[in-house]
Amino acid sequence: MTTPQVEAFLEMMAVERDASPHTLSAYGRDLADAEAALPGGLMAADEAAVEAWYAGLGARGLSPATQARRRSALRQFYRFALGEGWREDDPSRRLDAPKQGRTLPKTLGRDEIERLLAAASARDGAAGLRLVALVELAYASGLRVSELLGLRVEAVRRDPAFLIVRGKGGRERLAPLNASARAAVKAWLGVRDAARPARAADSPWLFPSSSARGHLTPRRFAQLLDQAAVDAGLDPARVSPHVLRHAFATHLLEGGADLRVVQTLLGHADIATTQIYTHVATDRLAEVVRSKHPLARDD
C-alpha cells in the first residue's frame, strides 16, 4: 500500500523532474518494498534498519543494477522527506552503491538482422508489413521502444529522411531514416487505415492498437519479435526491441562512425553511456580477424 508521503514524492518526481512512467513505477515498487520491510515503515526507520534492509537485497538475489536503483529511490525519497520537514535526519546517507561489472549490451550481426527482416516479411498481409516497418525503423534510427511506438502518423506521411524525436528529459534530436526504412513505412501506411481496429478509427499513432494507450505496447512488440526470431532460427532471448537499438549503434561504430555522432543519434546525455558500444564493436571486429584472417587460423 502506498503511503501519502510516497505518493507526494512520486508526484514531485513526475511534475518537477519529468520522470518517465517507467521510472515512477519502478520507484513506487522499490519504496513499497522498503515500506513493508523496514520496522515502522519508511518514516520511522533508523540508519541501522535501512542499512540492514539494503544489505539484504543481494542475499535476495537482486542484481547490482536493481540494488543501485533501490538505493537511488530511497536516498531521493529521504532527501525529499528532509526538505518537507517530515524527518530531521537521512537514514540512507551511508548507503554505498553496489559494485557493478561492465555488462556489454546484446546485439545482432548484420546477417541476423537480415534473417529477422526476412522472417517478418514472410508473414501475410498487414501484420507482416507492420512488423517489417517496426524492425526497419528501430534498426535504421536507433529509437528507444517508447519513442518508436509513440510515433505519430503525421510524422511520416511526407516520407521524411529524418524524424524529430523527443527523448529522455524532453531533449529533441534527429533520427535518420534510410531508404529501406522509408519504403517499409510507406508499405505499412498503405494498409494501416484498413488494418487498424475500430477503437482506433481516428488514431494519431503510426502503430495504433486497441490497447489502453491507443498504440502498440512494448510487450506486444516484444512478443512479435520473439516469434519472428523463432521463424528466423534465432534464439528469442537474444532479440528484443532494445537489441535492435544496440545493433544500430554497434554497426555504426563498426562502420567507422564517430562516437560523438552515435551519442547524438542515440540521445545519450553522457558519452560514457555510448562508449560501451565501442567495446562491443571492438570485440566483434577482433573475432572477425581471428576467424577470417589466414595468419590467425590454427590450421
List residues with catalytic annotation: 144, 168, 242, 245, 268, 277
Give the three-state DSSP class for 245.
helix
Residue type (1 letter), 94: R
* Pick from 111, 106, 131, 107: nearest CA to 226: 131
CB atoms within 10 A of CB 290: 11
Cβ contact 42:6 at 8 Å: yes
Cβ contact 53:42 at 8 Å: no
Cβ contact 199:208 at 8 Å: no
C-alpha cell at 246: 544496440
Cβ contact 37:53 at 8 Å: yes
Alpha carbon distance 295, 299 (integer Å): 9
> With the CA atoms of 275, 276, 278 and 282 taken in that order, what torsion angle do they form, in degrees rounded to the nearest 10?
160
Residue type (1 letter), 72: S
Q: Which residue is associated with the grid cell 531521493?
A: 76
Alpha carbon distance 105, 266 (integer Å): 14
Cβ contact 135:117 at 8 Å: yes
Alpha carbon distance 111, 116 (integer Å): 9
Cβ contact 250:284 at 8 Å: yes
Cβ contact 116:108 at 8 Å: yes
